[in-house]
Amino acid sequence: RGQVVFVTSVAADGPYEGGAGYCGAKAAERMIAGTMRLELVDQPVRIAEISPGMVRTEEFSLTRYEGDAERAEQVYAGVAEPLTAEDIAECVAWVASRPAHVNIERLTVRPRAQAAQHKVHRVLD
């Protein structure tokens, strides 16, 4: 019995400006997960995908904005509680802990303030 968990992104659902590489890579990961699920259906292996929305990490926005810390910080400006890496780790653990006959195909996880990839509630001073 086995479990493969892909951590993709809601960026796999659609493009955003400046996100060609990231959106494309995450969409490709989603296709790989789906293909593996089809090809291994007769094996005791579960293939799951966790698709996070806005997760505040030190590296992501800095990489996206090529080290521009001020611009990177604006991604999370006014968002009361973006997700954390720990939130996603808990999702991975939950998916992996399901009974062997249960496969969580895709779990989309967003902070409550993010209704869609492009719609984020912000409270600014």
Burial class (CB in 10 A: 0-12, 13-18, 19+), 104: middle
Based on the residue annotation, tell me whether 65 is a catalytic residue of this protein: no
Q: Which of 16, 22, 65, 76 is catalytic?
A: 22
Distances in whole angstroms, Cα of residue 12 to Cα of each of 21, 26, 106, 110: 11, 5, 12, 14
Q: Which of 10, 4, 6 is nearest to 82 (CA)?
A: 10
List, by residue number, the catalytic residues.
22
